[in-house]
Amino acid sequence: MSEGAVALCIGSRALDTANGGAGLQLLFNAVDATTGHSNNDATANVLRQAAGKALDRTTMLGQLYMPDCGDESAAAVWLEQYHWLRGAVDADTTFCMPAYWCGELGASGGLYRLLHLMRAMAKGRLPRLTLQYEQSLQHYRAVALFAVSEIDN
């Protein structure tokens, strides 16, 4: 599971009272692992599931947090499976790859991307669903689907 999904599962929701009572809600998360060095079924599996959840909500993915810091082999893992998001992305869907600004953070990267996501929410820049995809060198894959929701006070 991505670090961001873990943080939201522990806290249920990340609250932001400065944003008019809105909170970041974890709608879906999944984890899988590849069975070999050349097998990329795990990436396909988690992306296909996330796209299905987005389509169930009839809401397009507005932002994709994907791992990429210039490592072509790391990017190729998810680029080869990007087609599974067909129907859940459109011309307005944007990519966010914070590793280009701060470098690769290793095991802390997912948590950093969650904090980046929460900051974007606080600034009102998350009008649609957001997907966060994580992958490790040990063949683990994780995806989390987030939405901004109103908090009942």
Computed over every residue of the chain, the mean pLDDT equals 78
Classify residue 82 as left (phi > 0), alpha (psi -120 to 50) or beta.
Answer: alpha
pLDDT higher than threshold 70 for residue 50: yes
- Helix/strand/coil for 7: helix
| Comparison of pLDDT for 21 and 24, the residue scoring more | 24
Q: Are 132 and 126 in contact (CB under 8 A)?
A: no
Q: Model pTM?
A: 0.79
For residues 49-65, average pLDDT = 92
Predicted pLDDT at 11:
46
Q: How many domains does the chain have?
A: 1
**What's the rounded mean pLDDT across residues 28-47?**
85
Closest CA to 84 of 36, 30, 148, 27: 30
User: Which residue range is the domain that position 62 belongs to?
Assistant: 3-150
Residue-wise DSSP of 76-114: HHHHTTGGGGTTT--TT-EEE-THHHH---GGGHHHHHH
Of the chain, the percentage scoring pLDDT greater than 70 comes to: 72
112: CATH: 3.40.47.10
